[in-house]
Structures are given as C-alpha cells and as structure tokens.
Amino acid sequence: MPKLVPAKKFLNKNDFCCGKRFEEKTNLSRLPLPLLLKGIGLGIPALQQDLRQHLLQRRSPDFAVKNISAGATLALVGRSTQSRQDLKYRLEQKGLKLCPPAQALFWVLANPPFPDKLPENTGITWLDETELEQLLGPGVPVFDAQAQKNLQQLLLHADPINVRLAAQLLSHNGVPPAMLPYLYLAWCWAKEEKLRRELRALLGRYWPSAHRNLLRARVQFTRDTPWEAIEKQLAEILAPLKI
C-alpha cells in the first residue's frame, strides 16, 4: 500500500478556487499564514488579490500609515522591488529600522518567493509596498511642475538612456501620482527587457494595490499614434486609479 502524503506537500493551483466563489467557500481567517502565502505565490491574479487584501485587513480599523512613528521596526516578507540595502537606507533616513520578522512589529508584504518559515505573527501589522512608499516619501514634493514636465519628456523619449535616467530620479525621490500615467506608458513602450523590468518594479512600488490587475500585461501603444489619441486611451485604461 503506498504511503499517504499530506495534501499541503503538493499544493497547486487546482487546490484553490478563484474570485467570489473562493471567498464564499473558504474562511480565510482559518487558513494558516504559510498556506495564504503559498496561495499568493501560485500566480493566479484574482486569488493573489483576495489573499493580499485579507492579510492587510487583519490590522486595526483605525490604523493609518502616517501614525507609524520613528523607532518602529519593519520586516520585509518576500522579494521587494528595491534592493534590501536601498530599503534599509531609506528607512534609516526616517528613523525606522529594518529587522528580521521575529523582531518587527510591521511586516511588509512584498512579492514571491516567500520564506518557508515565519515566526508567530500575532500582534503584527501588515503593509503593502505602496503603503511603504507613502511612509518613506518626502514630507514635501521634490518635483515642481517644471521638473515633472522634464521628467515626462525623459520618460517618453525614444532613447532608453533618457528613460532610465528619469526612472532613477523617480526611484530615489518618489513618484508623484500625476507621473504614474507617463511611467506606465514608458513601460508599455520599453523594448529592452532589463529596462522593462526596472520600470515595472518602479510601478509596483507606487501602483494602488486594488488595481494591480492593470499591470498584468502591457498594452500595445505605437509611437506614431497622435498624442491626443494616446492620452484618450491612457485615460480610459487608468480611469480606475482616479488620478
């Protein structure tokens, strides 16, 4: 007789239902954290969204990112869109500390792969990377109207060197909401694979978590399309963001 193996050892996409049906059939609060993270890592967009939102909703109803004060300890769970060294430096500039999960009160839900084992998580508060950027962002805007116009021109330039320069400036100083459509368009236009990954990672840090479905695939824009038509199409695609 063959030896029985626990089902969790062979967890796959078929073990989960998606969307509303999944929520109706499954009490997410009863699922252990490793299984929730495993579900996020399966690559099913609707399921990822449900599980991420469930973890974020575990926190206190009166929680606000702005109330995280100096001295707070944060841990990264998963792979971030920025290097650990850069994140550590940015946190230190705000008087915050990057720690292992066992020593942190705030856990940042990044991207798969996730650790196989995590400590007891009772009493911790989850953040997503968009909220992390709100926490780390400058107190006053870095880019005035003219600077944003210059960045827009760099992002939409045909030369990838200019696009990468704009992306680096935005990565170090923050992405104003008004720049998101142009960053999105630069990502859609980028031909170099490495540049596409860099732009996608930057978008992921600032894109509203409730609308990440818009980043699943790049929309095909052509550079010879009249700008008025591009603006109209962008407005339609990004309407849910209410920028």
pLDDT tens-digit series, residues 111-126 = 899 998 999 888 899 9
pTM score, two decimals?
Answer: 0.65
In the predicted structure, residue 208 carries a pLDDT above the cut 90: no
Cα–Cα dist 96/88, whole Å:
9
| Residue 200 to residues 82, 165, 196, 204, 207, Cα–Cα distance (Å) | 11, 15, 6, 6, 10
Kindly report, residue by residue over 81-100, the tens digit of the pLDDT. 888 888 998 899 899 999 99
Cα–Cα dist 198/186, whole Å:
11
Residue 26 has a pLDDT of: 64
In the predicted structure, residue 153 carries a pLDDT above the cut 90: yes
Which backbone phi and psi does 68 adopt, to 5 degrees? -75, 120
What average pLDDT does range 22-31 have in this prediction?
Answer: 68
Residue 176 has a pLDDT of: 87
| Residue 158 to residues 93, 110, 175, 198, Cα–Cα distance (Å) | 35, 31, 21, 16
In the predicted structure, residue 5 carries a pLDDT above the cut 60: no
Answer yes or no: are the C-beta atoms of 159 and 126 closer than 8 Å.
Answer: no
Residue 1 has a pLDDT of: 37
Range of lowest pLDDT (11-15, 96-100, 173-177, 218-222) = 11-15
Provide CATH code, domain 65-136.
Answer: 3.40.50
Cα–Cα dist 234/52, whole Å:
27
In the predicted structure, residue 4 carries a pLDDT above the cut 50: no
DSSP string, 149-189: HHHHHHHT-SSHHHHHHHHHHHHHH---GGGHHHHHHHHHH
pLDDT band at 24 (very low <50, low <70, confident <90, very high): low
What average pLDDT does range 159-167 have in this prediction?
Answer: 96
Closest-CA residue to 50 (of 11, 12, 80, 20): 20
| Residue 41 DSSP class | T
Q: Cite the residue boundaries of each domain of the chain with CATH code 3.40.50.
A: 65-136
Residue 25 has a pLDDT of: 54
Cα–Cα dist 28/22, whole Å:
9
Answer yes or no: are the C-beta atoms of 237 and 73 closer than 8 Å.
Answer: no
pLDDT band at 68 (very low <50, low <70, confident <90, very high): very high
Q: How many helices (H) and strands (E) does the chain have?
A: 10, 4
| Residue 11 DSSP class | -
In the predicted structure, residue 204 carries a pLDDT above the cut 90: no
Between 209 and 169, where is the model more confident?
A: 169
How does 14-52 read in b/e, with b if 16+ C-beta sit within 10 Å? eebebeeebeeeeebeeeeeeebbbbbbbebebbbbbbb
What average pLDDT does range 145-161 have in this prediction?
Answer: 95
Residue 12 has a pLDDT of: 53
Answer yes or no: are the C-beta atoms of 165 and 151 closer than 8 Å.
Answer: no
Cα–Cα dist 72/124, whole Å:
12
Q: Which residues have C-beta within 8 Å of that of residue 68, sequence separation ≥ 6?
A: 96, 106, 135
In the predicted structure, residue 18 carries a pLDDT above the cut 70: no
In the predicted structure, residue 137 carries a pLDDT above the cut 60: yes
Between 19 and 208, where is the model more confident?
A: 208
Residue 21 has a pLDDT of: 47
